[in-house]
Amino acid sequence: MTRTSAPVDAPGADAWEGLVTTALLGTDRRTPPGAAPGPDAPLALLDAAAVETVRRRAGLRPARAAERPQAAPEDVRPALPPAAARRLAMLLADRPGPSGGGRRGAAPDLTELLPQWLALANARGFAPPPQVLPALLDAARGRTDLRPAALGFAGPRALWLARLNPDWRFALRAAPGGGAALPHLQDDDGVRRLWQEGLFAERVALLSALRSRTPATARDLLASTWGTERAEDRLMFLDSLREGLGPDDEAFLEQALADRSRNVRATAAELLSALPGSALAARMAVRAEACVAIDHTRSARPSGTGGGIPGGATQTTVTIAVEAPHECDAGMERDGVVAKAPAGRGERSWWLGQLVEAAPLGTWSRRLGGRTPRDIVALPVADGWQGELHAAWCRAAVRQRDAAWSRALLGDPSAPEAGGPGAVSLAERAKLLGTLGAAERAEWVAGFIAAHGLSEAFQLLGVCAVPWAAPLGRAVVDALNIARDAGSYPWSFSGVMGLAERCLDPSEASRLDALLAVPDEPENASPGAGGYWAEAFQRLVTTLRLRAAMAEELGAA
C-alpha cells in the first residue's frame, strides 16, 4: 500500500539549510562544513547532502494512506491510426519561436497546423492516445483559440486529469457545466432540478443544450424563473435564444421589452427585429416608413441643351428623401431605440439608423415603388443622408440574413470603390458576405482580388469557407505571383500567405511548383526579394503537402 509521510521534529534542520545556502552560493564562495577548500569541495557538499537526506527521512513517521483517485473514465471512440498518432505527437512537440517580423525559412509552421489536425480528427470521431493528453492540455492552456477543439478531442479523460493538476483547471471551466455531466434531456425531473439548483455555468450549458434540441422546452424553462433571475444572468440566458429563434419566441421576447434592465430590453428588441413577422418589426416599419420616401423632382431644361430632351421639356429625377425623427418617444425606447447618441453622432441620425436597422427589409420595396433591393440602393439619397441610410440597411441585411439585400449593398466586386455604395468599410463587407452561400462568397472575393489585389482582401478572406474554392484559390495565387513579379518583399503579404497555408486546397500544391525558383529581379526590385519569395512559396507548397498527408493519415476525404 502506498504511504505518504508527515514530518516530526526533523533533526539537523539548520544543517540542511546551511547545505542549501552553500549550494546556492557555490563552494568557491562558501566551503561545506567539515571540508577543505579546493576541487573536492563540490563532492563533499553532495556527500553531506546525501547523509543529511537520510537523517531527515529517518525522522519521519508514516502517515495515513491517501485515498486512490477513481479510475479515469473509458473513452469509447476508436483509437487514432498509428500514423496519425505519430503526426499528433510531432505537432504537439513543436513550440512557437519568439515573435518577430515575417517568418523565414521553408519549414511549415506546425503550430498553425494543429487546429486543422484537431478539426479533422474530431470530424472523424477519433480518441487520442492517453500518453499525449498532458501535452494536448498544455497546448490548450497556452492557446485559448485551441481549447474548444483540443478539449473536444481530448474527451472525458482530459477532465479527469484536469481535476488532478491545477495548471489544467481551465478545462473544467471550459467544459459545459464546469465539467459536470448534464442530465439526460428527457429526464424532466433532473433537468428541472439542475435548472433550479445548479451553478450558473451549469444552467447556461443546460439551456444551450435544450435550445439546440427542443427550443420551446428551453424557452419555457427560462420563463419559469425569469422574474427571480439577476439582470446579468437574464441577459446571458436571453442571448441563448438566438439558437433556433422563431415566431414562437415572440410572446416571451415582447414581455422582456418591459424588463428593468436596459441591456435586456435592447437584446430582446434585437432578437424581435430579426423576426420580420413580429409586432415589433411592424412597429419599427411604420416609424421607418415615416422617415423615408420617394421624391419625384421635376427640373426644367432650357431649349437647345441637348441630351435628347425637347426645348422647354422637363426631366424627372427620382431620389430618396429622408426626414429623420425629431424625438425619441417612450414607445421607441420601449422597442429598443437608445435615446442618447454616442459622442460625435447627431441625435436624429442616430435614431434614424436604429429605426431603419430594425425595420423588415421587405418594407422598402413596398414603400419605394416596388423596386428591387438593387434598384433601391442605386437611387440617390437627398441632403447627405445616403451614408447613414445605407449603413443602416447593411446592418439590417446582416441581422435578417437577407442575401438579396447583401448582394445589392456589396455591388460588383470590380467596382472602382471596391464595393457597393452601402459597404463603407471592409468590416461591413465581410459581414454582408457572411449572409451569402459559401460558393457565392468565394466567387465575390475572387473578383475583388482580381480587381484590387490583396492589400485590402485579408478581412474578406477570413469569412470564406475552408478549404478555399478553386476560383478563390487561383485568384490568391495569381495575386501573390503578381506581387512577386513586382519585386517587393513578401513580408507585406505575410498575413495572406499565412492564410493560404491554412486555407488553400492542398490539391493546388502542384500548380505552385513553377513559383519555387528564384525569379529574375527587375531593376527597381528590392534587393534579394526574389529569394525571399521563393522561400515563401516553398513553405506554402510544403505546408499544403503536409496537410494532404495529415488528411490521408486520418482517413479524411
Separation CA 53–CA 307 (nearest Å): 105
302/29 Cα distance (integer angstroms): 106
Residue type at position 331: G
Residue 130: C-alpha distances to residues 72, 156, 161, 314, 370 (Å):
10, 11, 11, 83, 64
Under 8 Å between Cβ of 316 and 250? no
Give per-residue pLDDT as tens, 99-147: 444 455 667 888 889 999 999 999 999 999 999 999 999 999 989 889 9
Cell of 290: 415615416
For 183-212, the DSSP string reads: PPTT-HHHHHHHHHHS-HHHHHHHHHHHHH
Write out 11-27 in H/E/C secondary structure. Answer: CCHHHHHHHHHHHHHCC
Q: For position 90, what pLDDT does the model report?
A: 92
> Rounded distance, CA 465 to CA 457, Å?
15
- Given a contact cutoff of 8 angstroms between Cβ atoms, the answer to whether 522 and 482 are in contact is no
pLDDT on residue 57: 81
What integer pLDDT is reported at residue 254 of this predicted model?
94
Q: Which amino acid, one-letter code, is at 482?
A: I
Nearest-angstrom CA–CA distance, 146 and 158: 14
List, as one string, the DSSP characters of 473-520: HHHHHHHHHHHHHTT--GGGGHHHHHHHHHHS-GGGGGGGGGGSSPPP
Under DSSP, is residue 292 helix (H, G, I), strand (E, B) or coil?
strand
- How many Cβ atoms from other residues are within 10 Å of residue 70's Cβ? 8
Is the backbone of residue 400 left (phi > 0), alpha (psi -120 to 50) or beta? alpha
3-state secondary structure of 545: helix
As a whole number of angstroms, the distance between CA 546 and CA 149 comes to 20
State the Cα–Cα distance between residues 191 and 203, nearest whole angstrom: 9
Is 256 within 8 Å of 237 (Cβ atoms)?
Answer: no
**What pLDDT shows up at residue 430?**
92
Q: Which DSSP symbol is given to 71?
A: P
User: Is there a contact between 423 and 409 (Cβ–Cβ < 8 Å)?
Assistant: yes
Predicted TM-score of the model (pTM): 0.73
pLDDT at 177: 43
pLDDT confidence of residue 2: 45
- pLDDT at residue 80 in the model: 94
Q: What is the pLDDT along the chain (557 residues), one digit of tens a residue?
A: 444 444 444 445 578 888 888 888 888 888 888 788 888 888 988 988 998 888 888 877 777 877 888 888 899 999 999 999 999 999 998 765 444 444 556 678 888 899 999 999 999 999 999 999 999 999 999 898 899 899 999 998 998 999 899 999 888 876 544 444 567 777 788 888 889 888 887 788 888 888 988 899 999 999 999 999 998 999 999 988 998 899 999 999 999 999 989 899 999 999 999 998 999 999 999 999 999 999 877 554 554 444 455 555 566 789 999 999 999 999 999 999 999 999 999 999 999 999 999 999 999 999 999 999 999 999 999 999 999 999 999 999 999 999 999 999 999 898 765 445 555 678 889 999 999 999 999 999 999 999 988 888 888 999 999 899 999 999 999 998 888 887 777 777 888 888 999 999 998 888 887 777 776 666 666 676 778 888 888 999 999 999 999 999 998 65
Sole residue written with cell 512577386: 484
